[in-house]
Amino acid sequence: MKEKEILLDQIANSLSLDEIEQTRLDIFGKKGVLSAQFATLAKLPADEKKSFAASVNETRDILQNAFDTKYASLKSDALDIQLKSEAIDLSLYENIATRGALHPVNETMNKIIEYFVSLDFSVEKGPMVEDDFHNFEALNLPKHHPARDMQDTFYFGDGSLLRTHTSPVQIRKMLSAKPPIRMIAPGAVFRRDYDITHTPMFHQVEGLVVQGKGEVSFANLKSIMSEFLGYMFGDIEVRFRPSFFPFTEPSAEVDISCIFCKGDGCRVCSHTGWLEVLGCGIVDSNVFKAVEYENVSGYAFGLGVERFAMLLHKIPDLRSLFDGDIRLLEQFR
């Protein structure tokens, strides 16, 4: 069959599945070349039939082979193209979905809580809207006591107030439980204050330990505060300064050696070499009287979480913690 070479060329030159389908119809279809050949075969005299049939069959096999090979290759090319076009680029959104981070106040709070929980302290909560008794009176801050001036209070019309410290949670705990007590109370507190180191809302962690009479000493308090500050700030020195709080007697303020200048003196520590970080003391007997506890001894402490966060992260303006500016938060990822 003289057309054989032409047909093989046509197969070889079919460049798409559409083209190879047309070639298939041209060769193997009902109206194709091979059908025509077999029609011719039927009309031939008997003696010519055999050799003609053999030649057509051979040509058909050759064409079929070439077709199958070409078809398989075009099919696989088409699949490749389809897979490429349907592939999902998983890297596309990588830079759009950014990672979040804990707010430095929460992160610092968590670190403080973890420390005391590991020492078997319970974590207590109290209301942010307090009454005069829990926030002041029971803490040995009677009405008209000058120490109340230390705290500028937000009052509601009915005499309730936004708690000015987390110390009222001590009172609530002692009124609802029997000693021994080992608790901390983390939470938001409120004061009418606004400048570079004060915001009207900030966070404190209060601590209270109460045991039998004579079982708790200032030495216990000193040791746990020193260990705690070492855990928070690393290699620092700690010093206790006599101070006054109405709810503790004796009271102390606790300083750490300045973590910025290592005690040499710098702007952050006002060139003293020391940073004040918390208040503490032996629970005043008047506080135990207010909650009707007898034959007990205890110590308490209180600290400002923002102050810790500012020192740990070298944040110069406390107000920036609450501006909600994403550029500040992005630095803590």
In the complex, which residues of this chain contact ligand DAH (CB under 6 A)?
Answer: 165, 167, 206, 245, 248, 279-281, 300-302
* First vs last C-alpha separation in the chain: 78
How buried is residue 173: exposed, middle or buried, by Cβ count under 10 Å (0-12/13-18/19+)?
Answer: buried
Determine contact, residues 107/168, Cβ cutoff 8 Å: no
Residue (66 or 169) nearer to ligand DAH, CB: 169
Which residues in the chain belong to E strands, given as ranges?
Answer: 122-123, 129-130, 161-162, 181-190, 201-212, 238-245, 248-257, 274-283, 296-304
- Rounded distance, CA 213 to CA 296, Å? 4
Taking the complex as a whole, the smallest distance from the CB of residue 255 to ligand DAH amounts, in Å, to 14
* Residue type at 104 in one-letter notation: P
Taking the complex as a whole, the smallest distance from the CB of residue 152 to ligand DAH amounts, in Å, to 12
Alpha carbon of residue 161 to chain centroid: 33
Residue (248 or 257) nearer to ligand DAH, CB: 248
Residue (225 or 259) nearer to ligand DAH, CB: 225
Which residue in 260, 269, 267 sits closest to 236, CA to CA? 260
Taking the complex as a whole, the smallest distance from the CB of residue 238 to ligand DAH amounts, in Å, to 16
* Residue type at 287 in one-letter notation: V
Taking the complex as a whole, the smallest distance from the CB of residue 302 to ligand DAH amounts, in Å, to 2
Taking the complex as a whole, the smallest distance from the CB of residue 165 to ligand DAH amounts, in Å, to 3
DSSP letter for 56, please.
H
- Rounded distance, CA 137 to CA 135, Å? 7
- Rounded distance, CA 197 to CA 183, Å? 28
- Please report where in the chains the tokens 């090979």 appear, as a residue: 69
Residue (24 or 148) nearer to ligand DAH, CB: 148
Residue (59 or 170) nearer to ligand DAH, CB: 170
Taking the complex as a whole, the smallest distance from the CB of residue 145 to ligand DAH amounts, in Å, to 14
Residue (126 or 302) nearer to ligand DAH, CB: 302
- Rounded distance, CA 91 to CA 97, Å? 11
Taking CB atoms, the residue at the shortest distance from ligand DAH is 302
Residue (49 or 239) nearer to ligand DAH, CB: 239
Residue 323: other Cβ atoms inside 10 A: 11
Taking the complex as a whole, the smallest distance from the CB of residue 118 to ligand DAH amounts, in Å, to 20
- Tell me phi and psi for residue 243, to 5 degrees: -150, -170
Residue (34 or 225) nearer to ligand DAH, CB: 225
How buried is residue 16: exposed, middle or buried, by Cβ count under 10 Å (0-12/13-18/19+)?
Answer: exposed
Taking the complex as a whole, the smallest distance from the CB of residue 300 to ligand DAH amounts, in Å, to 3
